[in-house]
Structure 1
């Protein structure tokens, strides 16, 4: 069962949802809204030495950006 990251269009929260096959459209666990936009997430790949391959953000960093550039279709603005 995959875990997808969504942006809630109602409350603005970024949430991760475990999606079961045949379970229907997910809702926001914070506010219950069905207005979720699926975000493109970076997979967490473990190297052969048991270490993560990179960060969990669009730019490969561990901490999230202050603004959600991926959800707005823009490129990462962290280093501008």
Structure 2
């Protein structure tokens, strides 16, 4: 069962919901049924579980000043 992201046209709330094929989706905030299904970005897993906290090769939120963020498998922040 896929997880879809919706925006309610009544209250403008955005929410995610695990949806079966026959499920009628209603807004959990206002109970409205006038919804837009949003295009969500897919999740990409790289296999580096120890560094998945952030968005960079070293797990930090900010990127390096100049690309590439890493040199080989060594993060430039750790050099």
Residues 17-28 of structure 1 aligned to structure 2 (within 5 Å): 17-23=17-23, 25-28=24-27
TM-score by length of 2: 0.58
Q: What residue number does 1:42 align with?
A: 41
Q: Which runs of 5+ in 1 are unaligned?
A: 55-61, 63-80
C-alpha displacement of 1:8: 0.4
RMSD: 2.3
Q: Radius of gyration: which is bigger?
A: 2
TM-score by length of 1: 0.57
Q: Once superposed, which parts of structure 1, at least 4 consecutive aligned residues long, lie more than 6 Å away?
A: none
Q: Which runs of 5+ in 2 are unaligned?
A: 56-60, 62-79
Q: What residue number does 1:69 align with?
A: none
C-alpha displacement of 1:37: 0.1
C-alpha displacement of 1:21: 2.3
Cα distance in 2 between the residues matched to 1:36 and 1:17: 12
**How many equivalent pairs are there?**
54
